[in-house]
Amino acid sequence: MPEVRQWLEARHVVNYQPQLAEDAGALRRAVYKTQALLVTPKVAVTRELLDFAPRLKVVAGLFEEIDNIDLEGCRDRGIRLIQPANAPVRATAEYLLGGLLMLLRRGFGVPLGGFRRPDIRLGRELGDSVIGILGLTPAAHALAKMLAPLGARLIGYEPALHRSAAIWEILRIQPVGLPELMAQSDAVSLQMLYASRYAGFINEGALMHCKPGQAWVSVSRSALFEPQALASALRDGRIDTCLLDGAEEGFGAEGSPLHGLNNLIVTPRVAAHTHEARLRAHWYLVDRLHEASLDAVAMPGAVSGAPAPSP
């Protein structure tokens, strides 16, 4: 972002080097005297790269996804990880809201899935619908505040949160069990945090309770779904259309039970990618790096440099 770079240039000697993101050898040479490294998902922060950065103190990830960063390697070297955790919250909530509005009007899902001349189908209005909030992440908080004024009735389930927690009432979400959420919801918004223990969490046991014709919008890891169970629900009408933002490799590929399903729509992790979210992320990270009073900062694909000398 030019305005962020200008702010940094007023306080640091900045060298803009976007080519570092594509040249592993040049990146290794550039980080030798670096104390902070800001990376996009294109840059793999491996143990090998860390070995070339003996002075590295901070790694900053521009996006929420940090699969490209060796967290254990950073921890072993005492390297601090910085993420702009709240920067994409509103953007993600708006994606979920847009998906719900679109899929409840049932004529949208089919052409997006590949059919050019679908039958006109009767949709629903959001203000007269029950929306299931599955996972109470910050994006869910923002989404609930957008949905309530539109008249939707909100019910929710979060496996890591008790029904008696005050936040349910604050957000005007009625806490229910997972089977009740499936059975009552006209549409489900999924934004659960992923952990290995939740792999396949959305399985046949959960989806057997689906209200017929349900719409699903998800910004969570696709590993939360058991592919065969989701495919069965999409085929028999329990789920009318499912919109996923991002999927692990092979999730809907040839050989997967989900391959070729026109009512499964996958977008390439676009939910958090807005100009405003990116600007918030840049400002947050640059401010944290500047506060750290580091001697040298490398930013592959963005900016790199060191503090400007004192006048």
- Domains, the chain, with CATH or none: 2-86+274-307 (3.40.50.720), 89-267 (3.40.50.720)
Token pair 């490398």 is found at 298
Given phi > 0 = left and psi -120 to 50 = alpha, else beta, which region is 92?
alpha
Burial 266-285 (b: 16+ CB within 10 A, else e): beebebbebeebbebbbbbb
pLDDT in tens, the chain (311 residues): 778 877 877 776 666 677 888 888 888 888 888 888 888 888 889 999 999 999 888 888 877 777 789 999 999 999 999 888 789 999 999 999 999 999 999 866 555 555 556 667 788 999 999 999 999 999 999 999 999 999 999 999 999 999 999 999 999 999 999 999 999 999 999 999 998 999 999 999 999 999 999 999 999 999 999 999 999 999 999 999 999 998 988 998 999 999 999 999 999 989 998 999 989 988 888 888 777 655 445 555 543 333 333 33
Indicate the pTM of the whole model.
Answer: 0.83
- What angle do helix axes 2-9 and 275-291 make, rounded to 10 degrees? 20
1: amino acid identity, one letter: M
Burial 118-152 (b: 16+ CB within 10 A, else e): beeeebbebeebbbbbbbbbebbbbbbeebeeeeb
